[in-house]
């Protein structure tokens, strides 16, 4: 699928915001940090989540159609995503303002916990929007949901780790949590890359779309609108060199730099470098998630002239 910046911004910033909110709620529950640090994490979560939510509107071809987006809550993950993300952002805002204006610890804690729970739900719903697309063979897997949640965790914890350097404070257990989440996400990503390669080999003219129904029939011949090949669902397959560069930079930035920061944890500069590395690495990770994905409709454009296609015209 062709990567578009609104989707990259939404999925990346939503996960970062939820990760920060979850860290903040955990610190509040266990009294592991100063209130000023928790408030800083929530403020950063509000800003990043707001930017991500606003960017999603630019993915719509007609902004006037936005008023219909909540009409399919029973059946559409997209409608659920819009609702959950909007409600989550509002609760995060209430959490921040409850601390700044009311200063009631119990109210602040209630809003913080609610925001974390709603945020995790919002990330899950966003991930399901992609994981339930059977035609997108690369995404139709539980690994999509797990990786979305893992990305939210690693980005949120790494940013909280970087904020400790800026505010010259320390949070017990934060470095350990970052190391654990980094180890889990690298395993998930390796499994997901393998699944992407399996999906790439599954969709070809000799095997069909990879879906169970066949024979397949062309419903859109491109006579009334541009051929499917030129729409966002079909993106020219990445070359081996492009995959090596994309995944290589992702590994170095997302796992290499924060791992170096954990080794030299006593230098606060490495905290910030690690957080920046995770963020840049997630940009590459999310770009490859879209750009390296295989859509089943590629079977109609497979360059395999010597093999008979299962498509019925």
Query: What range does the domain containing 197 cover?
Result: 5-312
Q: Which residue shows structure tokens 């079909």? A: 234
* Contact partners, residue 200, CB within 8 Å, separation at least 6: 138, 237, 294
Tell me what pLDDT residue 58 has: 82
Return d(Cα 305, Cα 308) in angstroms, integer. Answer: 7
Read off the pLDDT of residues 221-251 as tens digits, 9 standing for 90 and up: 555 555 555 555 666 778 899 999 999 999 9
- 208, two tokens: 């069909």
Read off the pLDDT of residues 266-309 as tens digits, 9 standing for 90 and up: 888 999 999 999 999 999 999 999 999 988 777 665 544 444 44
Where residue 255 sits, what CATH number does that domain have?
1.20.1630.10
Read off the pLDDT of residues 91-134 as tens digits, 9 standing for 90 and up: 999 999 999 988 788 999 999 999 999 999 999 999 999 999 98
Q: What is the mean pLDDT of residues 39-65?
A: 88
Residue-wise burial string across 29-52, b where 16 or more C-beta atoms lie within 10 A, e elsewhere: eeeebeeebbbbbbbbbbebbeeb
Helix/strand number for the chain, H first, E second: 9, 2
Mean pLDDT, all residues of the chain: 87
Query: How many domains, the chain?
Result: 1
Tell me what pLDDT residue 143 has: 97
Tell me what pLDDT residue 209 has: 63
- Read off the pTM: 0.90
Q: Using CA atoms of 31, 36, 38, 42 in order, give the dihedral in degrees to the nearest 10.
A: 160
In 31-174, beta strands by DSSP E? none
Where does the pLDDT of residue 163 fall: very low under 50, low under 70, confident under 90, or very high at 90 and above? very high
Tell me what pLDDT residue 306 has: 45
Tell me what pLDDT residue 225 has: 59
Read off the pLDDT of residues 209-228 as tens digits, 9 standing for 90 and up: 666 665 556 555 555 555 55
């Amino acid at each position: 699928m062709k990567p578009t910046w609104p989707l990259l911004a939404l999925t990346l910033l939503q996960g970062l915001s939820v990760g920060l909110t979850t860290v903040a709620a955990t610190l509040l529950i266990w009294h592991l940090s100063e209130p000023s640090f928790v408030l800083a994490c929530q403020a950063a979560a509000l800003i990043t989540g707001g930017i991500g939510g606003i960017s999603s509107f630019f993915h719509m071809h007609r902004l006037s159609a936005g008023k219909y987006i909540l009409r399919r809550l029973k059946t559409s993950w997209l409608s659920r995503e819009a609702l959950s993300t909007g409600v989550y952002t509002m609760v995060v805002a209430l959490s921040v303002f409850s601390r700044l204006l009311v200063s009631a610890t119990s109210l602040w804690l209630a809003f913080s916990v609610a925001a974390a729970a709603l945020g995790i739900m919002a990330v899950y719903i966003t991930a399901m929007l992609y994981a339930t697309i059977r035609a997108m063979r690369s995404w139709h897997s539980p690994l999509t949901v797990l990786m979305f949640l893992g990305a939210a965790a690693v980005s949120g914890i790494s940013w909280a780790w970087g904020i400790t350097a800026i505010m010259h404070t320390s949070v017990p257990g934060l470095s350990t949590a970052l190391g654990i989440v980094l180890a889990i996400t690298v395993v998930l990503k390796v499994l997901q890359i393998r699944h992407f390669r399996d999906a790439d080999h599954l969709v070809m003219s000799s095997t069909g779309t990879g879906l169970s129904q066949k024979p397949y029939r062309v419903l859109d011949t491109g006579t009334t609108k541009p051929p499917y090949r030129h729409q966002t669902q079909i993106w020219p397959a990445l070359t081996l060199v492009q995959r090596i560069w994309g995944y290589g930079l992702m590994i170095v930035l997302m796992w290499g730099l924060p791992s170096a920061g954990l080794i030299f944890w006593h230098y606060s500069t490495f905290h910030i470098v690690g957080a920046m590395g995770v963020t840049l690495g997630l940009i590459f990770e999310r770009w490859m998630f879209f750009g390296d994905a295989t859509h089943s409709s590629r079977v109609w454009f497979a360059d395999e002239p010597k093999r008979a296609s299962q498509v019925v015209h």
